[in-house]
Amino acid sequence: MKFFVSLALILFLFAGITLPQPKEEVRSVWVTTVFNLDWPRSTGANNQKNEMINLLNKLKDANFNTIMLQVRARGDLLYQSAYEPWATALTGFLGGDPGYDPIAFTITEARKRGIEVHAWWNVVKVYGTGNPPSTNPQHIVLRRPDLCKLYANEWWMDMGYPDTRTYLTNLAVEMVRKYDLDGIHFDFIRYPNPDFNDEASYALYGQGQDKSNWRRNNITNFVSAVYDSVQKIRPKMKVGSAPIGIFRDLSTCNSGWDAYTQVFQDSRRWMLLRKHDYLSPQVYWDINTCPRFDTLLIDWINNVGGRHIYAGIAAYRMASNDGNWPASEILAQLDSSRKFGAKGQTYFRTASFLNNEKSITTLIKANQYKYPANIPPMAWKDNIKPNSPGSLQIVSVDSLNYKLVWTKPAAASDGDTADYYNVYRDVNPNIDFTDIKKVIGFRVVGDTTFNLTFTTPPTDAIYYAVTAYDKGYNESDPSNTVHVGISGIDESYASSFRLEQNYPNPFSHLSTIKYQLSGNRDQRTGNGEQGPFDGAQGKTGSRDQRSDNWVRLAVYDILGREVAVLVDEEQVPGWYEKEFNASGLTSGVYYLELTAGRDKAVRKMMVVK
């Protein structure tokens, strides 16, 4: 009873809450290839390539960022394998060579659009009615009939045989070695039902175990073997599954055909054993009737074991012959997944969005997916963020056009550098880096510049900064902040030179320093105060030997000894920000000196340990 009271309270507290669009979220669809349901619906290599491009373009336009592409549907594959034949979906007959590599093509095109590709694998269900035709290589039903059983007129592999698990593991490893996929995604990773005929394998290998536990262990052993193999080959590749939507009966309302007791799928154990990175449970019920979407999803999220849950949402049930759900139901489930803490959504099927069923694509693009989302990082795979982009500058092209320019960061301690950049814009100098609406340049790839265009010359200050993302989707600390304002670049570009007081001050370790460079650098002294080193040339030599655009920001102790150089380079007019780490200094008074051409400003700092 305690659980149900708590759950009712949670649902009450979240009722009516609309959360802002997250900055990080998986937005995925299952791309079904069996029976050509989603793709390919055409024949011929060029037609199928164009169809895939159109599919990816439509998803990208609606701000999706992941596809689960069905690579193994019924014991056949979207790639040439030493183990199994080409997929029927590609040519219309099993084993037919399509004349191109669909997976390699899809990966290339998806990466251009910032979309991840996970290979969706139907594991145990390997063929439908009848027997497969002869192919080279032979279908597993013909190649190893001893490992396959006919159940309800469909062929299933018997996971009780060690050879079955070894075969499937080797098959997965073949694909992982061959393709730089973002993930592998398992479906039908279960038994069909309790009455599956596996008496022979149980007699050989059951060893007196409870049969239900033995079956669950067979699946878990396969999951563990695959995960460990994948991590050895591609440590950052994600491994996930689409389990049955009800893990175990929760109540009279939220009960039915469940994963744990009916099909022996102990996916929560996989997560606790750290042999899965995410689950996308197929919670294919609505919010208001039994079983309830919200209740079941909360149960999944509360038992995630520190890994990710992407809510499996039944978009196909908008069809008039499959539930006739309104589009509002799909959007409400999306909202619920955010409220309860899911890391994203996966929709079955892609066709619902390609066909804009009940205007779902139009609605989701205009509302819940109005802004793009970064894919959430997985800290257990990569928790080291990249270094910040360097030396952000803003350059005036003319009164309406400007360019942001920055430098690529050095490699972080794990060797990663920037895979892409996000450019932020805010009217507040303290940019809100948690708000996706502040991102005006999303996934800037292969470039360290970004163009800004105004319809009229900017008059109010607008602030910009850049962050870097690595391949694990870790975001760096932001670059320095720059801004435009009066007459295109802020008025400081024309006349003002300023060194602001560091903040916090006094401080023990870290403090932020902001300064402003003018466009007319002449013989004058900026704001600030004199230090004991006033008039010194520091370690840069005569200023006359430097360009007027050369900037130096240094720290001196009370005796005038230079203890740190924070900036020593050419910089264009604008605002800049540097972080000063005083962990190596003792307590006392220190001085900041900013020189730019013939401009100079000094500030006093207090370090207190």
Taking residues 437-447, what's their average pLDDT?
A: 97
CATH code: domain 498-607 is 2.60.40.1930
Taking residues 17-35, what's their average pLDDT?
A: 91
Q: Which pLDDT value is given to residue 544?
A: 44
Q: Which pLDDT value is given to residue 559?
A: 84
Q: Which of the two residues, 575 and 130, has the higher pLDDT score?
A: 130
Rg of the Cα atoms in the chain? 30
Percent of the chain past pLDDT 90, that is, above it, reads 77
Q: With 50 as the cut, is the pLDDT of residue 522 above it? A: no
27-366 and 498-607 agree in CATH topology? no
Supply the mean pLDDT for the chain: 90
Q: With 70 as the cut, is the pLDDT of residue 18 above it? A: no
Q: Which pLDDT value is given to residue 552?
A: 94
Q: Which pLDDT value is given to residue 10?
A: 42
**Range in 74-88, 285-299, 558-572 the model is least confident about:** 558-572
Q: Which pLDDT value is given to residue 58?
A: 98
Taking residues 384-392, what's their average pLDDT?
A: 95
β-pairing, 238-241 vs 278-279, is parallel
Query: If you classify domain 27-366 with CATH, what class do you get?
Result: alpha beta
The second-level CATH assignment, the architecture, of 390-489 is Sandwich (2.60)
Q: With 60 as the cut, is the pLDDT of residue 14 above it? A: no
Q: With 80 as the cut, is the pLDDT of residue 547 above it? A: no
Q: Which of the two residues, 600 and 64, has the higher pLDDT score?
A: 64
**Range in 279-288, 338-347, 524-533, 563-572 the model is least confident about:** 524-533
The per-residue pLDDT for range 404-434, each reduced to its tens digit, is: 999 999 999 999 999 999 999 999 889 999 9
Instruction: Give residue limits of the domains in the chain.
Output: 27-366, 390-489, 498-607
| Run of H or E residues at 27 | strand 26-31
E-assigned strand segments in 413-453: 420-426, 439-444, 449-453
Q: Which pLDDT value is given to residue 20?
A: 84
Q: Which pLDDT value is given to residue 520?
A: 55
Q: With 50 as the cut, is the pLDDT of residue 471 above it? A: yes
Q: Which pLDDT value is given to residue 496?
A: 65
Q: With 60 as the cut, is the pLDDT of residue 530 above it? A: no
> Which of 33-42's residues contact partners 24+ apart within 8 Å by CB, and which partners?
33/69, 33/70, 33/71, 33/73, 33/78, 33/87, 33/89, 34/70, 34/73, 34/74, 34/89, 34/122, 35/89, 36/89, 37/349, 37/351, 38/70, 38/349, 38/350, 38/351, 38/354, 39/350, 40/89, 40/90
Taking residues 2-22, what's their average pLDDT?
A: 51
Q: Which pLDDT value is given to residue 256?
A: 93
What letters, b where the CB count within 10 A reaches 16 and e where it falls short, cover 91-119? beebbbebeebbbebbbebbeeebbbbbb
Q: With 80 as the cut, is the pLDDT of residue 78 above it? A: yes
